[in-house]
Structure 1
Amino acid sequence: MDSKELKDFLDTKADQYEQPQFVRDDPIQIPRMFQLRQDCEIAGLLSATISWGNRKSILKSGHRMMELMDGSPYDFVINHSKSDLKPLTGFVHRTFNGVDLITFIHCLKRMYVQYGNLEAALLANLKGDSLQTAIHRFKQDFFYEHPGTRTLKHLGDPAKGSAAKRTNMFLRWMVRPADKGVDLGLWKNISSAHLSCPLDVHSGRVARKLGLLDRKQNDAKAVIELDHSLRELDAMDPVRYDFALFGLGVFEKF
């Protein structure tokens, strides 16, 4: 298909899948449980961080994390005692375990004490328009007091070649408007135009079949290449096509 046909096709698919029913089986349902901005941010970052593997397992683990934080993640992060952390030690989701969850809680507390919210933390690490560079700096900032721990592997780093799929997904949730009933649109100081597609095996496979991506690895270079292709289709909101690529790959086995 030519470029206009491709855009029309992907626009249709993006509209088809960016619907409230998408939330039912997606990890974004975890942050959407909350009203308080900080609760949404914490629930979003933690749920995105464990978002690999079976989706039912991801949802079960995401809800379990919220239960372990008494259904009030921000209050738990800010006000927890050492004894409050003990029940978290038994948490396991694939390679993300209780040690990782507790480390995230310590890191999140420092970020909120220092910045007030995670959008401000990311903006402090944003130089120019590159969110991928900001993700690298944000990770360094996030783990500032916990260098060299096993938990670092759970946040991807574009500077080290990672596609940072889960962090890019978290940013999509926070930044893109909430008018379609899926993303949250909580962060008003970052433009959707600067977002990158959460590249994974499904979106990567479909993107290659549609001629949007040539690179075979799903890595940081592939994210840049896919960014370029999607921005040609919609420069102001390129990541809306994440719904199309994901839906075509997961639901339609395109």
Structure 2
Amino acid sequence: MELKAVLDNLYASRSPRHLANDPLSFCHRYASPADREIAGLLASCLAYGNVKIILRNLATVFGAVGPSPRRFVEEFEPEAGMRLFAGFKHRFNDGRDLCALFLAARTMIEEADTIGDFFLGCHDPEAEDITPSLTEFSSAILAFDYSPVFGTAAIPADSAFPFFFPSPASGSACKRLCMFLRWMVRADDGIDLGLWKEISPAQLVIPVDTHIHRIARNLGLTARRQADWRTAREITAALRRLDPDDPVKYDFSLCHLGISEGCDGTVTPLCEACPVVKCCAGELS
């Protein structure tokens, strides 16, 4: 199949340059799996918007966190955290939301030792994909007691913290959570980390952002115009026909056609050198 050969070659073309331009690079700063897991949660939750701003704001957060994200979370005290991140802002998330995220991570490791083990408590290994697991995971996190941050157990309406933990049940594509799962679950290939070995990569769903949605449409992996959970599952199903055991292996390389290589969906001189050009339909209306 021509598309499989093209995408397998694209997968093989991943480079350190692409990784350096990706939030996942922050995980690679740490040798410890425990630190990488926490770093992955932080980096994925803030991975929305302009990539330069994402990387700049993550550098600020990790600079404050220090040499061990796991130790920072274990010792996290909301009152001190609110002072430390008082001026933090990433689009519509602020320092208060960030402190709630640290509190959520601390709660997960207090209850289950690792975020991975907490996720396993929500996971259905018999399901077709991670839809029910991710629904349960987000629901469980949003049900934690956040009164040390917000002053009330319930998350206030003016907080954007729930944006960190969307649910497939709402129709959201859950891009950042799917990306976090890809980082944790896929085998260590120099890009992804392979930390959560109890979960099958075959169950993962591709993280759909504007780049993946546009490129997937151009490659004929979906015709849907809305970048929602249904579209994410449809793209994943198409990729599963190419690699049933590891369908989202292509995500990083496809996404960086846009992030790092400049593909914007229009036909330009860049297309001549694009590794997927012979399978691409060009600009779609």
Give the TM-score normalised by the residue count of structure 1: 0.92
2:35 is equivalent to residue 28 of structure 1? no
Check conservation: 2:18, 2:256, Cα contact below 8 A: no
Whole-Å separation in 1 of the counterparts to 2:170 and 2:78: 34
State whether residues 197 and 223 of structure 1, in contact with CA within 8 Å, keep that contact through their aligned partners in structure 2: yes
Q: Which of 216, 222, 229 in structure 2 is aligned with 1:220?
A: 229
Tell me the equivalent position of 2:270.
none
Distance 1:66 1:189 in 2: 28
Q: Does 1:171 align with 2:178?
A: no
Q: Indicate conservation of the 8 Å contact 1:96/1:154, yes or no.
A: no
Whether contact under 8 Å (1:212, 1:229) holds in the other structure is yes
The aligned residue for residue 250 of structure 2 is 241
1:123 paired residue number? 120
Aligned residues: 249
Q: Show structure 2 runs of 5+ residues with no match.
A: 147-153, 266-285
Decide whether aligned partners of structure 1 residues 139 and 82 sit closer, same or farther in structure 2, where only a CA change above 3 A counts: closer
- Over aligned residue pairs, what C-alpha RMSD do you find? 1.6
Does residue 133 (structure 1) correspond to residue 132 (structure 2)? The answer is yes
**Once the two structures are superposed, what CA deviation does each residue of 1:109-131 show, in whole Å capped at 9, x if it has no partner?**
11100001111111110123331
What residue in structure 2 maps to residue 52 of structure 1? 48
Distance in 2 separating the partners of 1:102 and 1:70: 15
Report the equivalent of 1:111: 108
Match runs of 1:1-254 below 5 Å? 4-17=1-14, 19-85=15-81, 86-127=83-124, 128-129=126-127, 130-144=129-143, 145-146=145-146, 147-149=154-156, 150=159, 151-179=161-189, 181-250=190-259, 251-253=261-263
Matched AA of 2:31: Q
> Residues of 2 paired with 1:36 and 1:152: CA distance?
28
Question: What is the Cα deviation at residue 245 of structure 1?
Answer: 2.1
Q: Distance in 2 between matches of 1:34 and 1:14?
A: 24
Q: Identify the residue that residue 269 of structure 2 maps to in structure 1.
A: none
Distance 1:156 1:57 in 2: 22
Segments of 5+ residues of structure 1 without an aligned counterpart are none
Identity, in percent, stands at: 35
Q: Is the 8 A contact 1:197 1:239 kept in 2?
A: yes
Write the deviation string for residues 92-150 of structure 1: whole angstroms up to 9, x where unpaired: 11111101111011111111000011111111101233312211111111122244342
Q: C-alpha separation between the residues in 1 aligned to 2:262 and 2:95?
A: 36
Query: Quick one: structure 1 residues 93 and 87, their matched pair in 2 at CA, closer, same or farther if it must change by over 3 Å?
Result: same
How far apart in 1 are the matches of 2:217 and 2:19?
Answer: 26
Kept after mapping to 1: 8 A contact 2:85/2:95: yes
With normalisation by structure 2, the TM-score equals 0.83
More helix by share: 1
CA positional deviation for 1:89: 1.9
Deviation at 1:222, TM superposition (A): 0.3
The change in CA–CA distance for 1:191 and 1:20 in structure 2 (over 3 A counts) is farther
Q: 1:212 to 1:113 in 2, by over 3 A?
A: same
Tell me by how many angstroms 1:72 deviates.
2.1
d(CA) in 2 for partners of 1:73 and 1:245? Answer: 29
